Chains A and B, each alone.
Chain A
Amino acid sequence: MPLLVFLLKRLGWMLLTLWVVYTVSFFLMRSVPGGPFDSEKQIPEPIRRNIEARYRFDRPLIEQYGRHLWDTLHLDFGPSYKLEDYTVNEILAEGFPVSASLGIFALTFALTLGMTAGVVSAVRRQSVFDFSFMALATLGVAVPNFVLASLSVVLFVFVLGWLPAAGWGSLQQIVLPALCLAAPFAGYIARLTRTGMLEVLNQDYIRTAYAKGLSQRRVVLRHALRGAVLPVVSYLGPATAGILTGSLVLERIFFLPGMGSHFIEAALQRDYTLAMGTVLVYTLLLFTMNTLVDLAYCIVDPRVRLEQQA
């Protein structure tokens, strides 16, 4: 069963990756100046010690590392240092669906918009469509997403009044952030699709298909698209990473209670456990996504074998 072997190997690498990420970020965070219990008002020394003892900060670093790793292995990330009413697990459980929804919508937008534009551009090469889609695509790649977000708030919220300004809880509220998040990836996917399609459209089998008398629609959708999908599939891995990064900014601008905003706040406020939890979840997510992409690649492209990918 090559599939099983592949998955097992990947699982092994994933655990190793998680461990390395865990260790590196643990020691990185502890060596950064500033601790989680800093505040502008100085806490009396004995109280400070009590707080630190409560979170085992009084123990040697290596012991903290060991114990915390042990807890983490049991999927217990411990209490959050800053959001004292919550454990990290609870925060992740609340934040993850928000980020996931945002990411799914963004990925869907990016794929549908990007591939449509790419296919149209390739089929109508050198037309007005081609030119304007490609210009838009490059613009999407070139404008930082926080600028895009602000501008679209002006347009869709202030001027047109179609969508709410910010917040979480309804479908309308997710459209704008998801679109802004999707823009650069849609742009990139459009360009990838177009290039892939152009290459495929010159191949012999497409000519054969036309010669058989198939309609253009059928040729494009049944035959050409299949070949053009490959670069897009391989791009999905980096795109996931980019969407995770991008959501940090957009969650902040659009006031969404997702993991991205938890992560930034945790990192800036030295909420070690929460930061660690989010980092590990991100790592897990990236790794899973990359594995899925590799798997999909093998399925879509018969030339690639699973053994090589592992």
Chain B
Amino acid sequence: MTASQSQPQPASNPTAAESDEQRYERLLAEASTIRGVSLWQDAWRRLRRNWMAIGSLALLIAMALTVLLTPALPLQSPILTDLDHRQFEPPNTRPARLDLRQRLAEFESDVRPLREQLRTASGAELTELRKQLSARYAVEHPFQKLWHKPDWLSRQLLTLRVALFGDWCIPSLCGTDQLGRDMLARICWGGRVSLVVGIVATLVSLVIGVSYGATAGYLGGLADSLMMRIVDVLYSVPFIFVVIFLITILGQGDIKAWLDRHGINQITIFYFVIGAIYWLTMSRVVRGQVISLKNEQFVEAARTIGASSRRIIFRHLIPNVMGVVIVYLTLTIPAVMMFEAFLSFLGLGVSPPDVSWGLLVNDGIQVITRVRIYWWLVLFPGLTLALTLFALNFLGDGLRDALDPKMKNR
């Protein structure tokens, strides 16, 4: 896209009958109203007219909210297996039980003596007892047993859930899997992983790509062509090696121990591995933008009318680069999610009991055979994944159109 046209233009032709003074006044008035329409407002106005993009945006927001609030929703446990009664249950509305209140009460009565002791204890004994109590919380608390290592936020949301819904939980509307686990809960919890992988990996690629691309574009000359040649070379490197390599190296004993100490788990590694692969295109795009913007007339123009370089950067350069970057972001997220699914297909994805959509879909296609198709195992996760990718793609397209000044007033 070229940014030169994004400068405000007069909307109508002046009529000859006007006096100069009137004309200037009218122009001034017009200009002041027009200045109010920034690039972003303009883009938003155009985006609003694209109902597919808006629908996609709404869907994505809804999905993000669901995924964010998953712990507070009355879902079944995503990891609790029931091999004896619930394997491969088709979608149904039979009530399900989690007995959360009862479990919580039992736990509370279990730790009550410890709490009593805690009240009267002091000094070294107090710290010791505190440690014991927190150890019991970390292991025996029902949240720890029914969910895989919920973080602090999830635990608060789970508490909220118990307060709101009590023991009631949504029946297995999406059926259950091979080990009798509720698919709906797994899809929601898998969505947390998938969306977070998508977003974080994209952000990682953004950071690397933008800084690399901007540096190359800014430096120009030999450095630029060298840096871009490196990108070209990397384009031809088959990425799967990088992935296998990084995942295995980072999973090594001592490296893993070090990572564990710093609270980094496999999924975090994943973000970085994928992010580290997807920065190439981003860097190219940003470099192109920076180069074209450096020499653009509107930058020159702004400079001649005495705008400070701060103003130039924040009013002119950043918004123009941001447009492309945002469009690219919405298109990278689906690519990353797809890649995560691809890695799951190869068995290099997230480790159970964590789930992701890619893993669920891959499990689903394993049971598509002529003998029997457990359709719900592939339909629901596949639909969720496809819908998300669909929405992201539409939103990306919409944004691109909206941010493209050539589309202005169209």
Contact = CB atoms under 8 A, between A and B. Distances in A.
A and B touch in the complex (CB under 8 A): yes
Contacts of A275: 241
> Nearest 4 CB-CB pairs, A to B?
A142-B389, A150-B365, A142-B390, A283-B236
Interface in B212-268: 229, 232-233, 235-242, 244-245, 248-249, 252
Nearest to B385: A144
A287 B245 contact: no
B365 A146 contact: yes
Contacts of B244: 32, 267-268
Nearest to B369: A158
B397 interface: yes
Given A28-B242, A33-B252, A249-B342, A141 B237 contact: no
Interface stretch (A18-26, A40-48, A66-74, A213-221): A18-26
A21 B241 CA distance: 11
A249 to B, nearest CB: 6
B299 interface: no
5 contacts: A32-B245, A33-B252, A146-B341, A278-B238, A286-B235
B370 A158 contact: yes
Nearest to A17: B233
Contact of B236 (A32, A143, A147, A286): A286
Contact of A144 (B233, B342, B346): B342
A142 B346 contact: no
A241 interface: yes
Given A144-B361, A267-B241, A279-B237, 10 more contacts: A21-B233, A21-B237, A25-B237, A29-B245, A138-B394, A139-B386, A142-B334, A147-B382, A147-B385, A264-B240
A210 interface: no
A283 B385 CA distance: 31
Interface residues of A, number: 42
A245 B239 CA distance: 9
Contacts of B386: 139, 142-143, 147
Interface residues of A, dominant DSSP: helix
A293 B252 CA distance: 42
B378 A150 contact: yes
A204 to B, nearest CB: 16
Contact of A13 (B232, B241, B341, B368): B232
Contacts of B361: 144, 146-147
A262 interface: no
A31 interface: yes
A5 interface: no
B107 interface: no
B338 interface: yes
A12 to B, nearest CB: 11
Given A32-B249, A33-B248, A33-B252, A191 B397 contact: yes
A275 to B, nearest CB: 7
B298 interface: no
B172 interface: no
A263 interface: yes
B345 interface: yes
B373 interface: yes
Contacts of B341: 144, 146
Interface of B: 229, 232-233, 235-242, 244-245, 248-249, 252, 334, 338, 341-342, 345-346, 358, 361-362, 364-365, 368, 370, 373, 378, 382, 385-387, 389-390, 393-394, 397
Contacts of B378: 147, 150-151
A104 B165 CA distance: 57
A65 interface: no
A287 to B, nearest CB: 6
A263 B238 contact: yes
A129 interface: no
Contacts of B242: 28
Contact of B249 (A13, A31, A287): A31
A147 B366 CA distance: 10
Contacts of B397: 191
A154 B373 contact: yes
B390 A28 contact: no
B323 to A, nearest CB: 17
A2 to B, nearest CB: 18
Contact of A279 (B238, B334, B338): B238
Most buried by B among A32, A158, A245: A32
Given A31-B249, A144-B342, A249-B342, A139 B235 contact: no
Nearest to B56: A138
Contact of A154 (B239, B346, B368, B387): B368
B66 to A, nearest CB: 19
B361 to A, nearest CB: 6
Interface string A141-165: 1111011001101100010000000
A31 B237 contact: no
A282 interface: yes
Interface string A277-302: 01100110011000000000000000
A230 B232 CA distance: 21
Contacts of A11: none
Given A13-B232, A32-B244, A139-B390, A264 B334 contact: no
A16 interface: yes
A138 B358 CA distance: 19
Contacts of B342: 144, 146, 245, 249
Interface string A192-234: 0000000000000000000000000000000000000000000
Interface string A162-202: 00000000000000000000000000000100000000000
Contacts of B393: 138, 141-142
A73 B148 CA distance: 52
A141 B389 contact: yes
Contacts of A144: 338, 341-342, 345, 358, 361, 385
Given A32-B245, A249-B342, A147 B237 contact: no
A17 B368 contact: no
A20 B233 CA distance: 8
A264 B346 contact: yes
A273 B244 CA distance: 17
B236 A21 contact: yes
B235 A153 contact: no
A287 B237 CA distance: 10
